[in-house]
Structure 1
């Protein structure tokens, strides 16, 4: 199996990797939160050096003009779709962010063309802070899972699921799958967000991230039988403990907001996640750009997935809050033996 040069993509939080016809397509949150870009390569290790194409930019004003968060690239019925969250202004009068979920469509064979069409907002019954939409077609039915604020429930966001009539329209009433309730989900912020589907045998798993985006950020797990009613909350079992969290021994802090993809061998499941390698964060952790994309191997046991711990860095990464220039700085893939010297330059 391949050996991965962690971090595999610098300064791209909320990493999303989709494998189509042997090619890896990558997108994630730009540190300036102003655009959506796609890069692709035949191996995961080549993603950092792959050219990045901006396929959509934020509007100058209006609902899609601020804080473009967590884009995901999906392939549904032969077309490409990008799900993302965007805001109109910083906060509602009640203090909540103004993000809502939106969809782009491209029917070209190549998703890096400029033929992306705005399909509009995903309308949900609750008109409230919503983000981190992910989707999956299961046995011919498309589902959407996302994070949203319910003003009757303490905290910032819970996870919901619904069937879709088409890739940008809900068909069924949303059902809540999980809310922040355990201590580890309620540090700094009460948050459940960043869902991702994972399949193995007769089970369906959904990982999600919880707590504030700094050191406490960690990953939780929901499990259901493949033939269960996925819209019935009773079909899902929630782990009472995080399944992936900070590993100070390896210098990895606040792992989360992951996606899953098959490795180059076509069989091994990989977890693509973001993580920092330091704890001294200046200001709001959300605006520290160094949540780099990393890779971990999913090991399967009789009781389900074992995500292990975040692996230590083996290549150079920035150690400051500066955003790297598009064409500057050492690249992921720099030999590990040069790490100490390069770190001095950061």
Structure 2
């Protein structure tokens, strides 16, 4: 198998979420205007670059879900399609909360979408980046939430249905390392990866400029994932700015594979310049990129470094 695509794969799409379902790739991400959710699909990764986009939902005119529509993720759970995303209010733009949409039919591009509402957490507060996953017959949710108000931690809980928590949330990481606290004290953007007897969660840290980077958590596959003591954290970033390649602030990743499942792929956003004018959140040039990664002899992922822009070739 020899496949190639252009990086960036999709320009001006931050927080990319890419999944492979029944032989087709599905892509969604934050749009620069932060006011809608769009998805696209293709039979190959290079095909996503020019695939038609479909806006499946738009922000409300006011009230909840009317501002800062961020980081959508498209998941198929028990045969149904769901989108997890965060949004705030036009009159309170930092009142970020997590929400879920459900597709009423089997075709996410053409069937109507239903608002399932907010994912309610016991400690009401700034929350975002919800990602669901199944493990050992149970379904979990991992997300970022501010508590105390100045720090964004990662939480985990079991789900009773795709939009309702079943158990009390547990903090599995706080931004307690120096590289997680540059600009802002942040752990966010969790992404799940299971391999070699472990459950891994990659996440993103620091401000959304060139300091943005990825960290890694892991637990034994038979551990109690709701026990904070089960989780361990890399003391150093596992993927970060690579100035020689012209890639700055890589993060908010997701994982997928080649169609045959033989090659693991890292999907992330990054900018191709360091200096940003104004608020980084208002700079639209976090582009979605895809590259392969491997595994070390100790069973841990080796993400390498961000590749330079241009043709990326994937071979045997």
Counterpart-to-counterpart distance in 2, 1:2 and 1:202: 29
Counterpart-to-counterpart distance in 1, 2:272 and 2:5: 17
Query: Residue 264 of structure 1: CA displacement?
Result: 2.7
Q: SS of the counterpart of 1:137? A: strand
Query: 2:9 matched to 1:36?
Result: no
Counterpart-to-counterpart distance in 1, 2:175 and 2:36: 30
Q: What does residue 126 of structure 1 align with?
A: 123
CA deviation digits over 1:65-108, x for unaligned, max 9?
0010000000101100000000014657xxxx210000000141
After TM superposition, list the pairs within 5 Å mapping 1:185-264 onto structure 2.
185-264=180-259
Q: What does residue 79 of structure 1 align with?
A: 80
Q: 1:99 aligns with which of 89, 96, 116?
A: 96
Q: Would the aligned equivalents of 1:215 and 1:254 in 2 still touch at CA under 8 Å? A: yes
Counterpart-to-counterpart distance in 1, 2:104 and 2:261: 26
Higher mean C-alpha deviation, range 214-223 or range 281-290: 281-290
Query: Residue 156 of structure 1: CA displacement?
Result: 3.2
Q: What does residue 19 of structure 1 align with?
A: 20
After TM superposition, list the pairs within 5 Å mapping 1:315-334 onto structure 2.
none
Counterpart-to-counterpart distance in 1, 2:292 and 2:5: 10
Q: SS of the counterpart of 1:123? A: coil
Query: 2:144 matched to 1:139?
Result: no
Q: 1:305 aligns with which of 284, 301, 311?
A: 301
Q: 1:292 aligns with which of 260, 284, 287?
A: 287
Q: Would the aligned equivalents of 2:120 and 2:165 in 1 still touch at CA under 8 Å? A: yes
After TM superposition, list the pairs within 5 Å mapping 1:1-20 onto structure 2.
1-20=2-21
**Residues 90/148 of structure 1: CA separation in 2 closer, same or farther (3 Å cut):** farther
Moved over 2 A (4+): 1-4, 89-92
Name the Cα RMSD after superposition: 1.3
After TM superposition, list the pairs within 5 Å mapping 1:48-87 onto structure 2.
48-87=49-88
Q: Would the aligned equivalents of 2:153 and 2:175 in 1 still touch at CA under 8 Å? A: yes
CA deviation digits over 1:30-57, x for unaligned, max 9?
0000100000001111111000000000
CA deviation digits over 1:298-318, x for unaligned, max 9?
211123000000000006xxx
Q: Would the aligned equivalents of 1:90 and 1:98 in 2 still touch at CA under 8 Å? A: no
TM-score, with structure 2 as normaliser: 0.95
Q: SS of the counterpart of 1:3? A: strand
Query: 2:169 matched to 1:174?
Result: yes
Aligned length: 310
Q: Would the aligned equivalents of 1:180 and 1:192 in 2 still touch at CA under 8 Å? A: yes
Q: Would the aligned equivalents of 2:248 and 2:270 in 1 still touch at CA under 8 Å? A: yes
Counterpart-to-counterpart distance in 2, 1:132 and 1:224: 20
CA deviation digits over 1:172-201, x for unaligned, max 9?
000000010111000000000000001112
TM-score, with structure 1 as normaliser: 0.87
Counterpart-to-counterpart distance in 2, 1:24 and 1:90: 36
